[in-house]
Amino acid sequence: MDWQIAPESPIYAQLAQKLRRGIASGLYGPGEKLPPVRELALEAGVNPNTMQRALSELEREGLVFPQRTAGRFVTEDAQLISRARETLAREETRRYFSAMEDLGCSAGEISRLAAEIAKEGHDAGA
């Protein structure tokens, strides 16, 4: 995972966001065991306490649960994961729309562009 942490805002919040994306996208599959805190922190280049705080937040949201000595696991609740995915997707869309509006694009233009790019991607894939 490419962590890309910016120092301007609380790091734990950014880490939590990245972890949510990881779970929503399936990078960390349902029921999968997460790497230990120290390893994640080293990967992200951050303080283990900060990573710990991010994971605690995810625990509070129910996306992740601890199992006494075995470590932390991603939830198996598929509904919860898809809800998180939906929330993240909405955020991303809002951001996209806001950026397009800054460019002065209308709603019609946005739909047209979206269809074209999607087709491009589909053709490239095929």
Partner 1 sequence: MPVLECIELEKSYGRSEALRGVSLKAEGGRILGLLGPNGSGKTTLIKLACGLLQPSGGEIRICGLAPGVETKKIVSLLPDRLSLPGYMSPAALCAMYEDFFEDFDAGRAERLLDELGIDPAQRVRRMSRGTREKVQLILAMSRRARLYLLDEPISGVDPAARDYIISTIMTNYAPDAAVVLSTHLISEAERLLDDVVFLGAGRVVMSGGADELRERSGKSVDALFREVFKC
Q: Smaller CB distance to partner 1: residue 5 or 80? A: 5
Residue 8 interacts with partner 1 (CB under 8 A): yes or no = yes
Q: Smaller CB distance to partner 1: residue 68 or 122? A: 68
* DSSP state letter for 10: -
The amino acid that residue 50 corresponds to is: T
Residue 4 interacts with partner 1 (CB under 8 A): yes or no = no
CB 32 within 8 A of CB 70: no
| Cα 3 off chain centre by | 10
93 exposed, middle or buried (CB, 10 Å; 0-12, 13-18, 19+)?
A: exposed
From 18, 34, 40, 50, residue interacting with partner 1 (rule: CB under 8 A): 50
Applying CB under 8 A, the span of 35-43, 59-67, 91-99, 118-126 interacting with partner 1 comes to 35-43
Contacts to partner 1 by CB under 8 A: 5-13, 38, 41-42, 45-50, 53
